[in-house]
Amino acid sequence: MKVGLVLKAAEWVMNFTAARYPVFEQRIQERTAVVQLRLRGGANGARHFTFGGRRVTSARGLHAKPDVVLTFKDAEVAWDVFKPNARRIDAVNHAKNFSIEVTGNDELACWFTETISIMRAVGWKLGTDAGNGETRMLNATNSGPVFVYVKDGRIVRMTPIDFDEHDPQPWTIRARGRDFSPPRKTTTTSHTLASKSMVYSPDRLLYPMKRVDFDPNGERNPQNRGKSGYVRISWDEALDLVVSEIQRVKRVHGHGAIMNSHSSHHTWGNIGCYVSAFNRFMNAIGYTKMVINPDSWEGWYWGAVHHYGYSMRLGAIEPYGHVEDCLQEAEMIVYWSSDPESTGGSYGAFEGTLRRMFARDIGIEMVHIDPHLNYTASLLGGKWIPIIPGTDPALAHAIAHVWISEGLYDKKYVAERTTGFDKYSDYVMGVEGGVPKSPEWQAAETGVPAHTVRALARKWGTRKTYLAAGGKGTTFGGACRSATGSQWARAMVCLMGMQGLGKPGVNFGNLQYGAPIDLNFYFPGYGEGGISGDLETTGGVVQMVQRQPQLPSMNIVTQRITRNRIAEALLKGKTEGHPIDPKSSHGQFMKFGYPSPGHSRVRMMYKYGGSHFGTVQESNKLAEAYQSDALEFVVNQSIWHEGESKFADLILPACTNFERWDIGEWSVAGGYSHHNNCQLNYRVISIQHPCVAPLGESKSDYQIFLAIMHRMGMGTYYGEGLTELDWCRLQFDASDLPKRMSWEKFLERGYYVVPPEDMQVSPQAVAMRWFAEGRKKDVPEPHPLPAGNSARFREGLQTQSGKFEFEASSLKMFDDPGRPPVNKYIPSWEGRQTSELYTRFPLQLLSPHPRYSFHTHTDGKDSFVNDIEEHRVLVDGYYYLAARINPREAAARGIAHHDLVKLYNDRASVICAAVITARILPGVVQCYASSAVYDPIGEPGKSPDRGGCVNALAPTRWQTEKTSASAPNSCLIEVEKWTQAPAAAAAMSDAAGVAA
């Protein structure tokens, strides 16, 4: 009876809403259909709705020929679903227990429930009036939230968030008689500010396309991938093709024949992120999973973990309380391969910048060890110690040598908190091996004068020092991504182990992390899985499994391929790898092979997001793999036509995050970047409004996946009958936000700023202080896991001994010649010591995280960022990637500023524009990694690339034999002036254009 009334009322409300809102009237006229709702028992309680006209009609009883039927077990189940204050958990539980069933048109069932949802939302106000006919909406990016000003359906501008009187006041830290407070706004980067140019990029994919010479029923011509043009097709054709290929490949080849492939990052938002909607979709298909190697962590994960744990963070240390401790206590910061002014905590823009400038201004000394006078070094000043790439561990051992020789380390800490120091000391002092690792010994390797090393070691050994090793303080790029990356990360933690890591002013960090913000307030990071329902490969198992009611998903295929072995797997049919396993220090030892027993080789690839041509090593092989007949079908779902999309058989056009609903808190990643938001001055959680309609025929990733799922009869499972806004609401409800702001207010205002901690009431615990003082762990991270402790829970480190281990117990249990239990200097397998290769290719190529693009995102695409000449240089009408080279090396090769140059070795040739600068050491060339553009001037994979995929020059060899640790910064090249006429190059390149 109650249900009957609600359903009758639904008809009235729909018609009332349609009369009031033309957009909803349009919605209910989209379909001509009869939707039957009924109970299992029969006609009693049944009602059917008829759509097709300007108004909805409904009638009691059973319709003779309904298009879709939703059957509820009984009136109680139906009431749980339709009652005014219905709880999502009840609907999900009834679905899981088959108390609700859908028969008939799967897609129509979702359309009906989505229509009800849209009806509820239609009156909600989105954004605020900004005057001049503009509406100020919200969105979020990889470098923070933005106000998006929209007028007449077009984006006018984007700005960071300036706080108003409704937002909280900042935190204040008092240090050495001065106060520091961040300004009341968010920071941002050039690549976020360039977003408008990317939305309206001429490279946008605006409709589905098929390769002109791809015939699924005849010749597939894989050899022409990367060369042939494309022809426009309809969404129906595209969806039919992808569905028929998924089903054919599964039927013909069986278990594991489909693989996924995606970039490590994506457009911002917990719904649209690859960990979310894509993950749920691929799980519904079953696939061979591309395993990402921890390419920003590398040496930390494969090396440092074994001395001090932190596998949950892939080797990065806990980052809490650093800002206050560093500003109040530290006397020096040593930045070692650390350029936070370029890498910005990955997603944290310039949140740490003013803190670092303040630190300098209150007298904290700065030292920068890097082959490049990076932007942090040039801004802050201090001592620059340039070093030959890949030799950093030798310098570290020599610092330890000075400390041991002169007694400049914390003997009490070493005695009480660590194990195995004697063995490390024996190695450093030459007791073992006979060679003391003295400053003089290292000079030949590193190029750093012995007197500089002694001066640094003495300063460091007598001052409370923060070590910033890598962009984030621990981890993130640079020296950890070379053949000696594991050695370097191990050396970094061993140095801090000698200096009393965790004591006041003695820690890892560069002031990018550890701000005193409220971390007890919960909002999920994208790494927690969004809507994936996947508990195996996301961080969802920690919180979201209880907080967000939804249907689960899981991949039934266990076969895996490591990302930079995709080409090898496809070409040779055989490869192997080692996994990321945040649970323990030992999971990484579990080698996996491809093909796995009883699995098919991969025959189809579902590629999603940014291009790998600019991000994996030796990527010329990827072109070769694409052109082999190993892959029968390649679908690429992408926003822009660039890089890998030009190797697809079918292209599905996705829209940007500015054209769809989403929700997220900036910088919060979750998963193995737990509390990544603790770098922020202010936690800002934002709805991501669909600021403008999707361009052309592009659709949100979610809508594309849902459409495919509908054609496979899984739409009601995949989408659960929800709209994307409903999924955003589920994330909102799963968080602590409803306690602070109503959903409707959140949609209008667009954001919520979490007030900072009251530092008097809730002082933030400092990382590792508990360990240094032998106390129970008091920082808010759920690690080591309960079983990861050898003694009592939350007492001691994750190591076998619970102490800091100079001799790693875990490595004693695993034989990897490149990772002896005591860290030792083993020269790079590709560097100045490899004399035969070095003679032919006498320059070392560094390819760090880019400063002006977010990986491939924002690069290319005719983006505003192209015009930044430190990023790309316009030469003869083409934007070439900047290659930084020392004046001496340039002169020796007759190269002038902004000349085109060819970077080459046996693996590849890449054409760049020379930027001559004294900031880079002689013998070293530096180009940003992650070109979005792959533009071979001839045969793909076999000719010079003028797009700037310099990673193609780098080796795929692992750092050590038994890791999957990439080493792109161990790369020897030669550079010469490029003299081929630009017009000829352009003509060759244009031959691979788009036909449609």
Q: Note the residues at the interface with another protein (CB under 8 A).
A: 131-132, 154, 156-160, 162, 183, 185, 187-190, 193-194, 196-197, 200, 341, 349-350, 353-354, 357, 373, 375, 378-379, 381, 383-386, 439-440, 449-452, 454-456, 458-459, 852, 862, 864-868, 870, 874, 917-919, 921-922
Instruction: Tell me whether residue 849 is one of the annotated catalytic residues.
Output: no
Tokens coding 936: 């071979």
Nearer to another protein, 623 or 933 (CB): 933
Q: What is the β-pairing status of strands 68-72 and 33-39?
A: parallel
- CA distances 895 to 878, 879, 975, Å, are 19, 18, 9
CA distance 146 to 157: 10
Nearer to another protein, 426 or 870 (CB): 870
Q: How far is CA 910 from the centre of its chain?
A: 26
Of 48, 94, 262, 265, the catalytic one is: 265
Nearer to another protein, 93 or 159 (CB): 159
CA distance 654 to 209: 12
Nearer to another protein, 196 or 803 (CB): 196
Q: What share of the chain is helix, strand, coil (3-state, %, to 5)?
A: 35, 20, 45
In the complex, minimum distance from the CB of residue 376 to another protein, in angstroms, rounded to a whole number: 8
In the complex, minimum distance from the CB of residue 516 to another protein, in angstroms, rounded to a whole number: 20
Q: Are the C-beta atoms of residues 197 and 191 closer than 8 Å to each other? A: no
Dihedrals φ, ψ of 573, to 5°?
75, 15
Of 106, 167, 295, 945, the catalytic one is: 295
Tokens coding 916: 């001559």
- Distance, first Cα to last Cα, the chain: 58
In the complex, minimum distance from the CB of residue 177 to another protein, in angstroms, rounded to a whole number: 21
Cis peptide before 694 (omega within 30 of 0): no
Helices 450-461 and 439-446: crossing angle in degrees, nearest 10, is 120
In the complex, minimum distance from the CB of residue 615 to another protein, in angstroms, rounded to a whole number: 22
CA distance 885 to 577: 35
CA distance 50 to 45: 17
In the complex, minimum distance from the CB of residue 197 to another protein, in angstroms, rounded to a whole number: 7
Tokens coding 451: 């007197």
Instruction: Tell me whether residue 295 is one of the annotated catalytic residues.
Output: yes
Supply the DSSP string of 616-645, one letter for each residue: STTTHHHHHHHHSTT-SEEEEEESBS-GGG
Nearer to another protein, 56 or 883 (CB): 883
Nearer to another protein, 489 or 885 (CB): 885
Cis peptide before 182 (omega within 30 of 0): no
Cis peptide before 579 (omega within 30 of 0): no
Q: Are the C-beta atoms of residues 198 and 861 closer than 8 Å to each other? A: yes
Nearer to another protein, 276 or 343 (CB): 343
Phi-psi region of 612 (alpha: psi -120 to 50; beta: other; left: phi over 0): alpha
CA distance 16 to 906: 71
Dihedrals φ, ψ of 287, to 5°?
-155, 155
Nearer to another protein, 182 or 473 (CB): 182
In the complex, minimum distance from the CB of residue 454 to another protein, in angstroms, rounded to a whole number: 6
In the complex, minimum distance from the CB of residue 375 to another protein, in angstroms, rounded to a whole number: 5
Q: Are the C-beta atoms of residues 807 and 423 closer than 8 Å to each other? A: yes
Of 274, 526, 682, 752, the catalytic one is: 526
Nearer to another protein, 72 or 335 (CB): 335
- Spatial strand order of the sheet with 332-336 comes to 383-385, 365-369, 332-336, 465-469, 507-508
In the complex, minimum distance from the CB of residue 187 to another protein, in angstroms, rounded to a whole number: 5
Task: Please classify residue 877 by burial: count the beta carbons closer than 10 Å to its beta carbon, then call 0-12 exposed, 13-18 middle and 19+ buried.
Answer: exposed
In the complex, minimum distance from the CB of residue 77 to another protein, in angstroms, rounded to a whole number: 52
SS3 520: coil
Phi-psi region of 974 (alpha: psi -120 to 50; beta: other; left: phi over 0): beta
User: Would you mind telling me the total number of residues written for the chain in this entry?
Assistant: 996
Nearer to another protein, 8 or 459 (CB): 459
In the complex, minimum distance from the CB of residue 875 to another protein, in angstroms, rounded to a whole number: 13
In the complex, minimum distance from the CB of residue 350 to another protein, in angstroms, rounded to a whole number: 3
Nearer to another protein, 441 or 829 (CB): 441
CA distance 173 to 959: 41
- CA 140-145-148 angle, 5° bins: 80
Q: Are the C-beta atoms of residues 469 and 491 closer than 8 Å to each other? A: no
Active site residues: 265, 295, 526
